[in-house]
Amino acid sequence: MDILQIVCIGIVAVVLSVTIKQQKPEIALQVSIATGLLIFILIVVKLTSVIEFIKTFSRKADIDAAYIGILLKIVGIAYIAEFGAEVCKDAGESSIASKIELAGKVTIVILAVPIISSLLDLVVKLMP
Amino acid sequence: MLEFMRHWIINIVTISIILILFEIVVPSGKIKKIITLVSGFILLIAVVNPLIKLKDKSFDLNEAMLSDSYYIDRKEVETGSRLLEETQARQISTVYKRKLTTRIEEETNRLEGVNGSKALVVINEDFKSEKFGEITKISVEIKKAKSRAGASKIEPVATVERIDIKAQSGDKEEKGKDKDKDNLKFVDPEDKRLTELVKQNLNKSLEISKDNIEVTIT
């Protein structure tokens, strides 16, 4: 029933935002940011259980924990960057939003550098 | 061998499932492409890694990843510390210049016959050089005080030297003309005294050559 809660929160926020937008657009933006944060927190709490499941799954299958760790970090960065970018887009600042997305991409690539270099090392070692 | 194959296949299948789960969870934006790329790399490593372990048992993937992460972190810290050093040096030179300017102005104002002054200090700002902070030039603009009441009303008279009218050769005549011009160029003895006094004072207190001190009197 959580999805009902989230959808209701979203619809109420949209109605509020549209009503206020005519008189006070700055408060409408604040309402949209607050709603976004609320839904984000609600989802993140649910996400914790999914992550726990994946961790247990990988431990059972004897998978290197380093992969899962990096993947989790990447997903976290992606969520935060996307959230920030969406808020900026709502406020009409799409240029700042694209900068946030760029920052997210760069951070993910920095995290992925050890993976890429390890892959290269593996390929070199595989060669006779 | 059969056990190895079994373990390898389970590993690949599990990682593939986990990667699919992650792809579902990841927000659908522009970042998704990069995440797909990284997850593809991870899958590739998972496929190749057991083969390497079979061939060379000493190879540790975690160790290789750690060393790479360490290298990136070290580079980041180095760049950060260099930036910090530069900012610090710039701040130090700004504060030093400001204090020096204030000191020079205060010292000059204390001199007799000076009503106010404005100083400009040029220092060596290359923080890598050994001479960082060395004063290269000082320019001082002095406002002269009125010496006595009514004295300013008297116009100074240009000093005229004796002119030798018996000069005969053309060269001598020209030289004489130049000399006359020089003589007619008026230099207030008070200004000269003040300039010398300021230069001497700064030379004494800051140990800077008199040639590097420029004094303007207004």
pLDDT tens-digit map of A98-111: 999 999 999 988 88
Residue A58 is assigned to a structural domain of this protein: no
Beta-carbon separation of A109 and B21 below 8 A: no
Q: How near does any CA of chain B get to the CA of A9, in Å?
A: 20
Q: What was the pLDDT predicted at B152?
A: 52
Q: What was the pLDDT predicted at A7?
A: 93
Average pLDDT over residues B160-167: 72
Residue A54 is assigned to a structural domain of this protein: no
Q: Are residues A74 and A127 located together in one domain of the fold?
A: yes
Choice between B2 and B58, residue whose per-residue pLDDT is larger: B2
Domain region containing A71: 64-128
- Judged against a pLDDT cut of 60, whether residue B178 lies above it is answered with no
Residue A53 is assigned to a structural domain of this protein: no
Contacts of B39 in chain A (CB under 8 A): 71
The interaxial angle of helices B2-25 and A65-90, nearest 10 deg, is 10
Q: What was the pLDDT predicted at A86?
A: 87
Q: How confident is residue A59, by pLDDT bands cut at 50, 70 and 90?
A: confident
The pair of structure tokens assigned to A55 is 């961790």
- Judged against a pLDDT cut of 60, whether residue B149 lies above it is answered with no
Q: What was the pLDDT predicted at A96?
A: 93
A54-63, A66-75, A92-101, B144-153: lowest mean pLDDT where? Answer: B144-153
Q: Are residues A81 and A22 located together in one domain of the fold?
A: no
Beta-carbon separation of A67 and B15 below 8 A: yes
> What mean pLDDT value characterizes chain A?
85
Residue A44: CB atoms within 10 Å:
12
Residue A43 is assigned to a structural domain of this protein: yes
Q: How confident is residue B185, by pLDDT bands cut at 50, 70 and 90?
A: low
Q: Are residues A44 and A89 located together in one domain of the fold?
A: no
DSSP string, B38-60: HHHHHHHHHHHHHHHHHH-TT--
B139-148, B167-176, B203-212: lowest mean pLDDT where? Answer: B167-176
Q: How confident is residue B59, by pLDDT bands cut at 50, 70 and 90?
A: low
Q: What was the pLDDT predicted at B170?
A: 54
Which residue of A47, A63, A115 is in closest CB contact with B11? A63
- Judged against a pLDDT cut of 60, whether residue A27 lies above it is answered with yes
Task: Provide the b/e sequence for B160-179 (b: ≥16 CB within 10 Å).
Answer: eeeeeeeeeeeeeeeeeeee
Residue B19 contacts A, CB cutoff 8 Å? yes
Q: Are residues A40 and A93 located together in one domain of the fold?
A: no
Q: Are residues A43 and A71 located together in one domain of the fold?
A: no
The pair of structure tokens assigned to A82 is 């996307």
Residue A56 is assigned to a structural domain of this protein: no
Residue A18 is assigned to a structural domain of this protein: yes
Residue A3 is assigned to a structural domain of this protein: yes
Residue B23: CB atoms within 10 Å:
14
As for how many domains chain A has, the answer is: 2
Q: Are residues A70 and A95 located together in one domain of the fold?
A: yes
Q: How confident is residue B105, by pLDDT bands cut at 50, 70 and 90?
A: confident
Q: What was the pLDDT predicted at A99?
A: 93
Residue A7 is assigned to a structural domain of this protein: yes
Which residue of B31, B35, B44 is in closest CB contact with A119? B44
Chain B residue with minimal CA distance to A72?
A: B22
Q: Are residues A77 and A27 located together in one domain of the fold?
A: no
A46-50, A69-73, B52-56: lowest mean pLDDT where? Answer: B52-56
Residue A14: CB atoms within 10 Å:
13
Q: What is the pTM of this model?
A: 0.58
Q: What was the pLDDT predicted at A83?
A: 86
Beta-carbon separation of A105 and B27 below 8 A: no
Residue B202: CB atoms within 10 Å:
24
Q: What was the pLDDT predicted at A12?
A: 94
Beta-carbon separation of B65 and A119 below 8 A: no
- Judged against a pLDDT cut of 80, whether residue B1 lies above it is answered with no
Q: Are residues A42 and A70 located together in one domain of the fold?
A: no
Choice between B134 and B52, residue whose per-residue pLDDT is larger: B134
Beta-carbon separation of B45 and A123 below 8 A: no
Between positions 62 and 101 of B, the ones with CB within 8 A of A are 62, 64-66, 68-69, 72
Q: Are residues A23 and A75 located together in one domain of the fold?
A: no
Q: Are residues A35 and A70 located together in one domain of the fold?
A: no
- Where helices occur in chain A by DSSP H, the ranges are 2-23, 25-60, 65-90, 94-126
Q: Chains A, B: CB contacts under 8 A, how many? A: 120
Q: Are residues A90 and A125 located together in one domain of the fold?
A: yes
Q: What was the pLDDT predicted at B63?
A: 75
Which residue of B25, B48, B65 is in closest CB contact with A114? B65
Q: What was the pLDDT predicted at B148?
A: 53
- Judged against a pLDDT cut of 60, whether residue A128 lies above it is answered with yes
Contacts of B51 in chain A (CB under 8 A): 126
Contacts of A74 in chain B (CB under 8 A): 35, 38
Q: Are residues A92 and A125 located together in one domain of the fold?
A: yes
ipTM of the complex: 0.75
Contact criterion met (CB below 8 Å) for B135 and B206: yes
Q: How near does any CA of chain B get to the CA of A23, in Å?
A: 32
- Judged against a pLDDT cut of 80, whether residue A116 lies above it is answered with yes
Bridge-based pairing of strands B135-144 and B213-217 is parallel
Half-sphere exposure of B206 (CA within 13 A, CB side): 27
- Judged against a pLDDT cut of 60, whether residue B182 lies above it is answered with no
